[in-house]
Amino acid sequence: MIILLQVLPVALRAMVPVTLCAVGEITGERAGVVNIGLEGIMTLSAFAAAIGSWATGNPWIGALCGMGAGAIVGLLHGFISVYLRGDQIISGVGINLLGMGAVGFGTWALWGAKSPMLDKKFWIPEVPGLGISPFVLMTPLLVVLTWWLLHRTALGLRIRAVGENPVAADVVGVPVEGVRLLAVVFGGALGGLAGAFLSLDWLHTVSPTLPAGRGFIALANVVFSKLNPFLALLGGFLFGYFDALAIQLASVAGFGGGIPYQFVRMIPYIATLAVVALAIGRARFPKALGQPYRRE
Amino acid sequence: MADNALLEARGIAKVYPDGTVALRGVDLVVRPGEVHGLLGENGAGKTTLTKIISGLLPPTSGEIRWRGKRVRFSSPREALRAGIGMVHQHFALVGPFTGLENIALGEEGGGALSPVHVASVRRRVEAIMRESGLEAPLDVPVEDLPVGVQQRVEILKMLYREVDLLILDEPTAVLTPQEAEELFSVLRGLAAQGRSVIFITHKLAEVTAVTDRVTVLRRGEVVATRETPGSTAEELARLMVGEELPPPRARAERAPGREVLRLEGFTVPGPAGKPAVQGVSFSVREGEILGIAGVQGNGQTELVEALVGLRPWSGHAELLGKDLAGRGPGEIASLGLAHIPEDRHGMGLILEFNLAENAILGRLRPFLDPLGRLRWGKVYRFARELISRFSIQAPGPRVPVRYLSGGNQQRLVVGRELSKAPKLLIANQPTRGLDVAATRYIRDLLLRLRDEGMAILLVSADLDEVLELSDRVAVMYRGTFAGVLSREEFDRERIGLLMGGVREAG
Ligand SMILES: Nc1ncnc2c1ncn2[C@@H]1O[C@H](COP(=O)(O)OP(=O)(O)O)[C@@H](O)[C@H]1O
Ligand SMILES: [Mg+2]
C-alpha cells in the first residue's frame, strides 16, 4: 500500500512530458494537422535545452531554447503539411528519425561515445519550500491555458473551424493556412518544453533515445483525451503513475522477485495500450484531420 | 460601362486545370436592389461564374467591376470585405459549431486572443433575424438542424457581414415548396432595402416567382439578359436549352399487377443510435412507379441502401415473395433488383475504368469462358450494344468513363442496370445533375419501363420529378412516411407541407 503513495512524486514528474506533448498535439489536431513527430521533437529540444543551459549558465534560458527548438521543428512540419501539402505521417516519421540522428551525432561530437551527465548548476531548480519541480506546477496551468485558448477565444474558434471544415473558415475570411501553421508551431513549442523538462529537470542527460517512447505515449494520450486538454492531463497522470510504479517495482524486483527488469518496465506501455483500446471508438476527431486544404 | 451597375463582369472566361472550358466570355450586370436570376442547365457554368465573382476561383480572363471600380479578388475574404457573399450549394458550415459560432466565425468582435463576444454577436444576429424574417436557432450544433434551417444560418452569416450582393447557388434544391416561398419573400425584402441578390436556378417557375431580371447561361455563354416581367416561361426554356425538346411521353392507363416488393415495419439504424428509417411499410407492384418525395436527408439514402443490402435493417422485406433478411447485395440483385444509385461517381461507376469495364460491373458471369477468363470480344460487343440502345455519346467502348458527360455516364449506369432484366428497379435521384435533354431521356425511359410492367421505386428530392412520374407518392420525413397519396390526390401544397413535417389530421 505504502508503495502506491511513495511513487507519487515520481508519478507527477512522469506526467509532465506526456501531458505537455499531448496538449500541444491536441491543438494541432484541432486545426487538422497530425504530428506524430513528438518523440523527435522532445529528443531535439532536450538537446537544445541542455546546450542552451550549458552555454548561458541559466537553465531557464535553456528551457526557452528547448521551446524554441520545438517551435522551429513545428514550423518545419507545419510548412511541409500545410503549405507543401505533404503527407503528415511521413513528415512526422522524418522528424522522429531526424531527432535520433541529429542528437546522436551531436552528443558524439561534443562528448564522444558516452552520454554526458549535466552538472547540477545547469538543472532547473526546484520550487523553493515545496520541493517539487516547477514543471509539475506549470503543466496543469498550461492545460487550463490551452483549453481556454481552444474553447474560449476567437483564435480557438478559428483553430477548431479550420480542422473541421476549412472551406467554411476560408469563405468567411479565416486564413486557413496561417491558423493551421500557428497551431502546429504552438504544439511544437509545448513539445519543446517537454523536451527541456527531460534534460534539465528530470533525467539530467541527453541521448538520442531520451524520451523512451513518451512521445508515442503522448499520441495515445491524445486519442484517450478525445482532444480535451483536461482528459489529457488525467491521461498523463495515469501514465505517469504506472511509469513511476514500474520504476519502483523494477528496483524491488531486481532484489528478489526474479521478474526481469525489462518486463516490469513494460507495465506503463501495456497499461497505456489497454486504456486506449477501451477509450477508442467513441472519440470524434475533426473532419478535416490530416487533409491539406486546397481551394478547388 | 453600364451606368447604375453594382457589379459588372465583362468577358469572363474560365478554363479549369483539367482543360474543361466552363465559361467562354460571359457578361453579367447586376443593379442595386434587384434580384437577378442566373438561369441555366446543369453544367452551364452558373456555379463557376459566381465562384469567380465571390473570389473563390480566379478567372482565366475577363474583368470585374464592383461599384464602378475594377477589382480582382484573390480570396473569398477580399470579396466579403468588399460586400459580396455567397451561399454555396454545399453549405460552408462547421458541423459541431452552433449557429451563433458559425455566424461569429471570423468576425468574433475582438482580437484573436480575446473571448468571442457572444452577447453582442447574439444581439446583432437577433436584430437581423427580426429585420429579415429569417429565423434560426442559435444554440444548437448546426449538424443537428434540418438542411432548410442550415441554409438560413448560412444566409444570416452573410447578412451579419452586411453584404450588398448576396449570391445563392440553387438554394431551393433543399427546400420544401413552402420554405422556398418564405425564402423568396426574404429575398424580396432584401432587394427592397437596396441590396442585390444573384439567385441561381435551373427552374423556370422560380425565375418568374422572384427575379427582376434574368441572365440565361448556356454552355458557358450568355444567351440573353431579360427583364423578367414580360418574358414567358416558354421563351426562357428555349433560351436555356437551345433546342426544342419533344413533348414528354404520355403515361399509359394501366392497372398495376402483382406485388413485387413489400416492406413491413422496415427500420434502419442511423448514426448516434437514432433510427434513420423507422417502421416504414409499403409495397410496389408491377407496372407502377412508387415515388418517395422528401427533403434530402430524411432517411431516403438509408432506406435505399438497406434495401439493396448495403446496410443492416430490421423488420420485414420481401421481393417477389422471397424474404430479404440476411441477404447480401449480390444475392438481392440476383433475385431481380436493379439499382441506379444516387451518387453515380461513388457507387455507380469506377471513373478510371473504361466504358466496357463499367458496363459489366456486377454482372461478370455471362462474359466468362469455362476457365473463368473474361471474353473481351463479347464484353465490347455488349458495350457497343448499350451505346447504341441508350444513345450514349462516346467515342467508343474503350473510353474511360471519366471523360463522359454526366448525362452519358447516367445512361451507361441505367443501361447496365436494365440489362440485368430486373423485376424491381430502384432509381435514386436518377436525374440529379443532368442536363434537360438527359433528364427527359431518363424520365421517359422510366415511364416506358413502367408501361411495360416493371415495378419502379423512385426516390427524388425534386418534387416536380416525383409528381410527373409516380403513380403513388410517399412523403418521407425524419425516417417515417408522412403520408402516401395516389395520383388523383397529388397536390403540391399538401405534399410540401408533409415534406416539412406537418402531419395530416386523422
Ligand atoms: N473543379 C472543376 N474541375 C473541372 N471542371 C469543372 C470543375 N467544376 C465544374 N467543372 C465543369 O465546368 C462546367 C460548368 O460547371 P458548373 O459551373 O458547376 O455549372 P452549373 O453550376 O451551371 O451546373 C461543367 O462542364 C463542369 O463539369
Ligand atoms: Mg451549379
Q: To test ligand 1's pocket by mutation, which of B14, B21, B47 has the most ligand atoms within 8 angstroms of CB?
A: B47
Do B278 and B152 fall into the same domain?
Answer: no
Determine whether the shortest distance from the Cβ of B47 to ligand 1 is under 6 A. yes
Same domain, B116 and B196: yes
Task: Evaluate whether residue B456 is within a structural domain.
Answer: yes
Q: Which residues contact B39 (CB under 8 A, 6 or more apart)?
A: B46, B201, B202, B204, B207, B214, B215, B216, B217, B236, B239, B240
Report the residue among B18, B38, B48, B86 best suited for mutation to probe ligand 1: largest number of ligand atoms under 8 A from its CB: B48
Residues with CB under 5 A from ligand 2 (ion): B 47
Are both B236 and B305 inside the same structural domain? no
Q: What is the DSSP track for A243-290?
A: HHHHHHHHHHHHHTT---HHHHTTHHHHHHHHHHHHHTTS----TTTT
Closest-CA distance of chain B to residue A196, Å = 26
Residues B294, B189, single domain; the answer is: no
Together in a domain, B153 and B109 = yes
> Same domain, yes or no, for B148 and B110?
yes
| Interval A33-72: pLDDT, tens | 999 999 999 999 999 999 999 999 999 999 999 999 999 9
Number of separate domains in chain B: 3
Q: Using H for helix, E for strand and C for coil, what is the string for B332-378? A: HHHCCEEEECCCHHHHHCCCCCEHHHHHCCCCCHHHECCCCCECHHH
Domain boundary among B206, B241, B276: B241
Looking from the CA of residue B202, the nearest atom of ligand 1 is 22
Distance, CA of B42 to CA of B20 (rounded, Å): 15
Residue B481 lies in a domain: yes
Supply the DSSP string of B67-134, one letter for each residue. Answer: TTEEE--SSHHHHHHHTEEEE-SS----TTSBHHHHHHTT--SS-TTSBP-HHHHHHHHHHHHHHH--
B395 in any annotated domain: yes
Q: Residue B105 contacts by C-beta under 8 Å, 6 or more apart in sequence?
A: A157, A158, A161, A168, A169, A172, A174, B94, B97
| ipTM for the complex shown | 0.89
Dist. CA B16 → ligand 1 center (Å): 8
B399 lies in the same domain as B475: no
Residue B253, classified by CB atoms within 10 Å of its CB into exposed (0-12), middle (13-18) or buried (19+), is exposed
Residue A212 CB neighbours (<10 A):
17
* pLDDT string in tens for chain A (296-residue length): 667 778 888 899 999 999 999 999 999 999 999 999 999 999 999 999 999 999 999 999 999 999 999 999 999 999 999 999 999 999 999 999 999 999 999 999 988 877 788 888 889 898 888 888 999 999 999 999 999 999 999 999 999 999 999 999 998 989 999 999 999 999 999 999 999 999 999 999 999 999 999 999 999 999 989 999 999 999 999 989 988 888 887 777 555 566 777 777 788 888 877 877 777 666 688 999 999 998 76
Asked if B381 and B434 sit in the same domain, the reply is no
- Tell if the CB–CB gap between A161 and B97 is shorter than 8 Å: yes
CA of B162 to the centre of ligand 1 (A): 29
Burial annotation B133-143 (CB, 10 A radius, 16+ → b, else e): ebebebeeebe
In a domain, B1, yes or no: no
What confidence score (pLDDT) does residue A280 get?
66
Query: Would B344 be classed as within a structural domain?
Result: no
Asked whether residue B255 falls in the same domain as residue B359, the answer is no
pLDDT of residue A236: 94
| Same structural domain, B28 and B64 | yes
CATH number of the domain bearing residue B485: 3.40.50.300
Same structural domain for residues B435 and B373?
A: no
Same domain? For B302 and B448 the reply is yes
Whether residue B2 is contained in a domain is answered as: no
Extract the C-alpha cell encoding B431: 436525374
* Burial track B8-36 (b if 16+ CB lie within 10 A, e otherwise): bbeebbbeeeeeeebbbebebbbbebbbb
Domains of chain A: 2-124+133-279 (1.10.3470)
Q: Say how many CA atoms lie within 13 Å of B23 toward its Cβ.
A: 28
Specify if B341 maps to a domain: no
Judged by CB atoms closer than 8 Å, whether chains meet at B105 and A175 is answered as: no
Amino acid at A238: L
Q: Considering B188, B217, B241, which residue would you say is the last residue of a domain? A: B241
Q: Is A31 on the interface with B (CB under 8 A)?
A: no
Separation between Cα atoms, residue A146 and residue B226, nearest integer Å: 56
**pLDDT at site B506:** 43
Q: Contact B482/B503 with Cβ under 8 angstroms?
A: yes
- Cβ-Cβ contacts under 8 Å, A173 against chain B: 75-77, 80-81, 106
Residue A79's Cβ-count burial label (10 Å; 0-12, 13-18, 19+) is middle
Task: Look up residue B259 and give its amino acid.
Answer: E
CA A152 to chain centre: 23
The residue of B94, B142, B143, B162 whose CB has the most chain A CBs within 10 angstroms, and thus the best one to mutate to test that interface, is: B94
Q: What is the mean pLDDT of each run of 10 residues along chain B (506 residues)?
A: 82 92 96 96 93 94 96 92 93 95 90 88 96 93 91 96 96 91 95 96 92 95 94 88 80 89 94 86 95 92 94 95 93 93 86 93 89 92 93 91 89 91 94 87 94 95 92 94 89 89 66
Contact A210, A43 (CB under 8 A): yes
Q: Does ligand 1 come within 6 angstroms of the Cβ of B201?
A: no
Q: Residue B298: helix, strand or coil by DSSP?
A: coil
Please give the helix or strand (H or E) that residue B465 lies within, else none.
helix B463-469
* Domain interval for residue B130: 7-241
Domain boundary, last residue among B241, B270, B291:
B241
Flag if A173 and B113 touch (Cβ within 8 Å). Answer: no
Q: Is the CB of B301 under 6 A from ligand 1?
A: no
Q: What pLDDT does residue A7 have?
A: 86
Asked, for residue B106, whether it belongs to a domain, the answer is yes
